[in-house]
Chain A
Amino acid sequence: MPVPITLDFVLRQGAFTLTVEERIDAQVVALFGPSGCGKTSVLESIAGLRSPDRGVIRIGSRTLYDGAGGVDVPAHERNLGYVPQDLALFPHMSVRQNMRYGARASRDQEAGGPWEQILSLLELRPLLERGVGDLSGGERQRVAIGRALMASPLLLLLDEPLTALDGGLRARVLPYLERIKHELATPIVYVSHDAAEVAVMADWVVELERGRVVRSGPALGAQTAASLDFRRQTSEDELNDEVEDGRR
């Protein structure tokens, strides 16, 4: 289900300034661009782990941040599912305890809520009693995504969910992401530097370079990959024009 997302803020970190001015209506938004372009900072600003210097962050009708209005909802009250690149599975807990961590916070017990649905969707049941140290890369990824979904988030934030996986594993995890998109209908903001991945997942692509949006527009399936490669070679002026076009 598409959801209106407003990302209109400025975040300064030392010499780096991130400027985003986007109003998007999509289910899966991909933030695309080379490493160091600010993709992760966008996710962390949405998640509430970083405070922008000014601007507005709004998901649907919920304002998470409004610099002028003095709104800055703390991370634990945002109800978003954030899966960071390093996954951050809690090392002192089993898979089950990790999964329950998200669920308990949203006051859903194992019996109710999305517990059963997510376990079958991500095929996590056989992993429940394991320690997080005994999981393969793909399993860790699925547990982290499952944990984030347990809290029934308004929005799922995925930071390079497939990057750490090799080719074979990537092909095995990607279908799970597509299932989340189609079966749970949870809106997703997805960070990637892989054009092919973006093409499969995204409805809308925001391309970042050195802290600025250089392109924003609907994803065009497989064509996107090729066009993104092409666009990267065009001049920056042209790109800026396209950004303007994309907004209209």
Chain B
Amino acid sequence: MSVLDGAVVEVAWRTVSMAALATLVMLPPGIGLAWVLARRTFPGRALLETLVSLPLVMPPVATGLLLIWVFGRRSPVGGLLARLGLEVMFTWRAIVIAMAVMGLPLLVRAARAGFEHVDRRYEEIAATLGASPTRVFLTISLPLAKRSVLAGALLGFSRALGEFGATIMVAGALPSTRTIAVAIYSYTETGQEVAAATMVALSASIAFGALFLSNRLAASV
């Protein structure tokens, strides 16, 4: 049991820290995309909107395969990163990338609704007071949409915690890259039902906490 405990703790820690890192990674592009979709009209907006949401409805393994095409060693991007000593495939970096891509749509949706809720009046008046567009964003739009952005970040984090399909494609089920979702699959496959059940309980409680907090934040907007 002690071996199992050690493995459980290690997998749980890896999953939570990778999901947290993935959330940090998705925040800048997520907030940017959310703001652009909420406040700007431009050709190709509908296309961008659809692309961002695609990972929500595509089979996660398909997203995983796309990521292999982008980050695999034989691809230009993956090759370049490898030459810089940044190995992606089957490392923790692959986990973070897969989690971030899968969590991004949820963050963008929630944050976008938050930006749409901000009364444009405040942004316009801030501009007449001499604030540049960047300053308006940082001092008016973002603080007023803060709760929705946080709720979205927690949703993205929750999604990242449970990510399976894309993760197993790019990071495999190695002992060094195993996340909770992947561990549940592996333990079940090899008949380690107690270990699998422990992982299920663990994943349910972490996800419950994150979702509960996210809903509380979203409800008080």
Contacts from A to B (Cβ < 8 Å):
47-49, 74-82, 84, 86, 88, 90-92, 101-102, 105-106, 147-148, 150-151
Contacts and interface: CB of A to CB of B under 8 A. Distances in A.
Nearest to B132: A76
Given A92-B143, A92-B144, A101-B139, A74 B121 contact: no
11 contacts: A48-B127, A49-B127, A75-B124, A76-B132, A78-B128, A82-B125, A90-B126, A102-B129, A105-B129, A105-B130, A106-B130
Nearest to A150: B129
B122 A76 contact: no
B131 interface: yes
A205 to B, nearest CB: 24
Contact of A101 (B124, B129, B133): B129
Interface string B135-148: 11001100110000
Contacts of A80: 128
A76 B140 contact: no
A49 B126 contact: no
Given A92-B144, A106-B130, 6 more contacts: A49-B127, A74-B127, A75-B127, A88-B125, A105-B130, A105-B135
A91 B127 CA distance: 16
Contacts of A82: 125, 128
A101 B131 contact: yes
A102 B131 CA distance: 8
Given A88-B121, A90-B122, A76 B128 contact: yes
Contacts of A74: 127
Contacts of B129: 76, 81, 101-102, 105, 147-148, 150-151
Contacts of A105: 129-131, 135
B122 A49 contact: no
Nearest to A47: B128
A79 B139 CA distance: 19
A45 B43 CA distance: 26
Contacts of B127: 48-49, 74-76
A150 B130 CA distance: 11
Interface residues of B, number: 19
A150 B119 CA distance: 23
Nearest to A44: B124
Contacts of A151: 129-130
Contacts of B143: 92
A184 to B, nearest CB: 17
A18 to B, nearest CB: 18
B128 A48 contact: yes
A239 B131 CA distance: 41
Contacts of B125: 82, 84, 88
Given A49-B124, A82-B125, A84-B125, A90 B130 contact: no
A150 B133 CA distance: 19
> Which of A88, A92, A147, A148 counts the most B-chain CB atoms under 10 A from its CB?
A88
A105 B139 CA distance: 12
A88 B122 contact: yes
B152 to A, nearest CB: 18
Nearest to A107: B130
Nearest to B144: A92
A81 B124 CA distance: 12
Nearest to B143: A92
Interface in B138-192: 139-140, 143-144
Contacts of A77: 130
3 tightest A-B CB contacts, nearest first: A105-B130, A75-B127, A88-B125
Nearest to A90: B122
Nearest to A80: B128
Contacts of B128: 47-49, 75-76, 78, 80-82, 148
Interface in B88-142: 119, 121-122, 124-133, 135-136, 139-140
Interface in B34-78: none
B129 to A, nearest CB: 5
B123 to A, nearest CB: 9
A48 B129 CA distance: 11
Nearest to B133: A76
B30 to A, nearest CB: 21
> Which of B121, B125, B127, B143 counts the most A-chain CB atoms under 10 A from its CB?
B125
B141 to A, nearest CB: 11
